[in-house]
Amino acid sequence: MTVSSADAEVDLAIYDEIEHLKRREDATILAHYYQDGAIQEIADITGDSLKLARAATGVNSKTIVFCGVHFMAETAKILNPEKRVLLPDTLAGCSLADGCPADRLARFQTELRNRGRRFDTVTYINSSADVKAISDWIVTSGNAIEIVRDRVPSDREILFVPDRHLGKYVEEATGRKLILWDGACVVHEVFSVSELLKTRRRLANSITIAHPECPVNIREQADFVGGTEAMLKYVDLIEQPAEILVATEANMLWRLQNNVPRHRYHPVPGVTCACNTCPHMARNTLEKVRDCLRTGGPEIGWRDAFDRAAAVLRRSLLG
């Protein structure tokens, strides 16, 4: 039997197979809101980056299948060294993480120090473990403002990496001047303001929500700016059915529709296309989830950088 889920026909037998393998392997499936709806459906826990990182530390099973991108599975492993963490497709990367290699960051930090600058490095969780290991704080879209405002000592400058748009947003929200790394997310960078305005003219009284990874020209047009978890809370507070334009990865619309179905959700079009799907997130499929449970791989192995990254992650996200 098949059923239409998200945008694909899904063979129901695979759900049974995954359930069976999950029990056999003593596994818990975690999925980010940017995963295909069919994957979110089989997950034990869905969430944004912050919720999933925290949830991973409360999992009782000996295996975690992380349906998300590489840095998320790596974070789950760093916070749970004793667990086996599987990522259905290890090539599921992140343009932000790729744009900030640890050796380049280390050189830039040295340059700044040589110029007498005293700073803390505040790093978006969308980064490699090697970058986390040379950082002072790790933030997500869910706690970046709080960490910069309340925890980074006020007598220190802040080097914020790797997302310049999130950095700009945090700068505006906290009033602290940040040194920004020149990185951006390929998905959030492509939203088109003119297409957004066109769609808005078509939909009277619509509400626009945007992820803080969006450039300022999109954020300026938004009624609400927040990460994916905050978006869910925000739309839930709107009591009357509304037309909601969503400037973030396309699969988030599935989650919004599922959790708060009284509204209608519309993707904000991109400059060159109408779909803002993350090509990395899209690498994970139900078949790959099944296969990683069947074979026990690909698995995130322990690396030296994880020890130092663990301390930074713990004090930033769990402290």
Residue 316 is given by DSSP the state I
251 binds ligand 13P (CB under 6 A): no
Among 48, 89, 120, 130, binds ligand 13P (CB under 6 A): 48
276 binds ligand 13P (CB under 6 A): no
CB atoms within 10 A of CB 315: 13
x/- contact string, 133-172, with ligand 13P (CB under 6 A)? -------xxx------------------------------
Of 63 and 140, the one with the shorter C-beta distance to ligand 13P is 140
Q: Which residues pair with 159 in a beta bridge?
A: 121, 179
Name residues contacting ligand 13P, limited to 54-113 (CB under 6 A). Answer: none
Count of positions on this chain that bind ligand 13P (CB under 6 A)? 9
Which two tokens mark 22? Answer: 């999950």
CB 251 within 8 A of CB 277: yes
Name residues contacting ligand 13P, limited to 199-218 (CB under 6 A). Answer: 213
Q: Taking the complex as a whole, how short is the minimal distance between the CB of residue 140 and ligand 13P, in angstroms? A: 5
Q: Taking the complex as a whole, how short is the minimal distance between the CB of residue 96 and ligand 13P, in angstroms? A: 7
227 binds ligand 13P (CB under 6 A): yes
Q: Taking the complex as a whole, how short is the minimal distance between the CB of residue 48 and ligand 13P, in angstroms? A: 3
Q: Of 204, 205, 206, 248, nearest to 225 (Cα)? A: 248
Q: Taking the complex as a whole, how short is the minimal distance between the CB of residue 172 and ligand 13P, in angstroms? A: 18
Of 10 and 260, the one with the shorter C-beta distance to ligand 13P is 260
Residue 8 is given by DSSP the state E
Residue type for position 34 = Y
Q: Taking the complex as a whole, how short is the minimal distance between the CB of residue 267 and ligand 13P, in angstroms? A: 16
What is the Cα–Cα distance from 300 to 298, expressed in whole angstroms?
Answer: 7
H or E stretch covering 52: helix 49-56
40 binds ligand 13P (CB under 6 A): no
Give the dihedral sign, CA 211/71/289/55.
negative
Give the dihedral sign, CA 240/242/248/252.
positive
Q: Is the peptide bond before 298 cis (omega within 30 degrees of 0)?
A: yes
126 binds ligand 13P (CB under 6 A): yes
Task: Please give the residue ranges that form the binding site for ligand 13P (CB under 6 A).
Answer: 48-49, 126, 140-142, 213, 227-228
